[in-house]
Chain A
């Protein structure tokens, strides 16, 4: 089985978000970049499938050269080779088009990615890739088992889950508890250095989304503290001041 895992290169979940250049650019100063947490679940499940029943895993990222350490980390976790599409990811459609093209060329049985990126949170790339390839896309997937050419999945729905069956190939946007995040070990880190990382140039895409500017939410007012023996006061405030009861 050939698995393609799509990984985004995103600010660590603890990052302070700031913008520069008149609020048109993300400030990367002091920011650590990681594999998107949802993408990390997808990768972890791919590695489990490889361990259980044999598979080769290719990771793909659409990004400039600064994403290579993130790609190497995915190789250290257990991917066999990698593709970097050499371009700034400008919107979901652009990213999905690049992924779909590489997927077509590589002939994968399974395309795994995160349910959403944690920078733009679109939750769109899986659907667009599925549509461009004319194959099913399922998200958010919280369980995935493969039996021969069929997959059994669980998809999260509001307040519950849904169990599905689908034939390969298909695209899945993953989330927990599909697998446990994997931490690369020393051997993985050593071998990742020499695993193949192919750099390809992007195809042009007529993008339909243009960034105007970024904005931070208004600062939160300070907290009002209430004594532990005076819960009545809290109830009054919720009722009369915040008007939420």
Chain B
């Protein structure tokens, strides 16, 4: 089986979820080729060999420095054909998922996103994917000879299994139509831990009473090296930026640890956190529904508990 992996990068570095995609492909077995686009540091590219890539292709065209859905789909579909690939693996993300859909349409491939486990290839090619926003799973069979699968965070463990490989430059002729969408500028939250990729998330709800009280959440997040999140009303009211909003209609997180403070635990919020390994809930109402979804809970006033918890964690480090 020939597997092509699309690896995403940001500021020259390979994204962690793409390393998971390489690890996933490696564990599937077969021959893994990683494809990176635009500006990526060569040391980063070579290191993909460590995580299981046999071959690394780099389409370094400067026009690909920005993540353009159409242009990326063209390059990836072409590489899929040139490499005689059977399966494309990519990490589900704001770029990977829409790109994967276009690639699948170009190739006439079977498509599954939100895949949570290695495919079962004993008879046919079956994958388990998350559906109903994490409330259930579906086992689906991908019946076309070519397949595109998007994997959900934590679907594979990143491990060193090999050593550096050399990088093969890869060129594709692109048309104007591939660049009909222009990115004029971008805004990034710099320095912070990115919410979708974070291992720990500290999240606040309406119980925090106002944006002026977020320093407690931010300090705890800093101590833990965590990302900050919030409930939907909190971002709707402009207390926190929209990209921190967790839940059904916001970011779906899958951290090791999710700490929810002053969030009631509405089903739509839970839909965004139910893939977390461990959930801690701090709420002054013992009947808050979030406790039913939690591993650990404290009934109490957030303003009391936050500084104490922060100190206790600092001391434990």
Contacts and interface: CB of A to CB of B under 8 A. Distances in A.
Contact of B186 (A122, A157, A227): A157
Contacts of A126: 98, 101
Contacts of A137: 69-70, 98, 101-102
Contacts, number: 268
A164 B184 contact: yes
Interface residues of A, number: 81
A108 interface: no
Contacts of A46: none
A203 interface: no
Given A92-B111, A158-B197, A123 B136 contact: no
Interface in B260-306: 267-268, 271, 274, 277-278, 280-281, 291-301, 304-305
A28 interface: no
Contact of B305 (A161, A228, A237): A228
Contact of B243 (A161, A167, A211, A213): A161
B62 interface: no
B94 A156 contact: yes
A131 interface: yes
A214 B138 contact: yes
B180 A14 contact: no
A162 B181 contact: no
A38 B139 contact: no
B277 A93 contact: no
A188 interface: no
B143 A209 contact: yes
B135 interface: yes
Given A137-B102, A158-B196, A232-B312, A163 B183 contact: yes
Interface of A: 11, 13-14, 17, 19, 37-38, 91-93, 96, 118-128, 130-132, 134, 136-140, 142, 152, 155-167, 170, 173, 175-177, 207-217, 220-221, 223-228, 231-232, 234-239, 242, 244-245
A134 B175 CA distance: 13
A223 B291 contact: yes
B165 interface: no
A214 B140 CA distance: 9
B110 A208 contact: yes
Given A209-B140, A223-B292, A165 B184 contact: yes
Given A177-B242, A208-B111, A128 B194 contact: no
Contacts of B192: 159
Given A11-B132, A122-B111, A238 B180 contact: no
B85 to A, nearest CB: 16
Contacts of A142: 242
Contacts of A160: 186-189, 243
Given A132-B105, A212-B126, A245-B313, A118 B248 contact: yes
Interface in B42-74: 66-67, 69-70, 73
Given A159-B188, A166-B182, A177-B242, A215 B139 contact: yes
A118 B140 CA distance: 17
B153 to A, nearest CB: 11
A161 B185 CA distance: 9
A101 B104 CA distance: 18
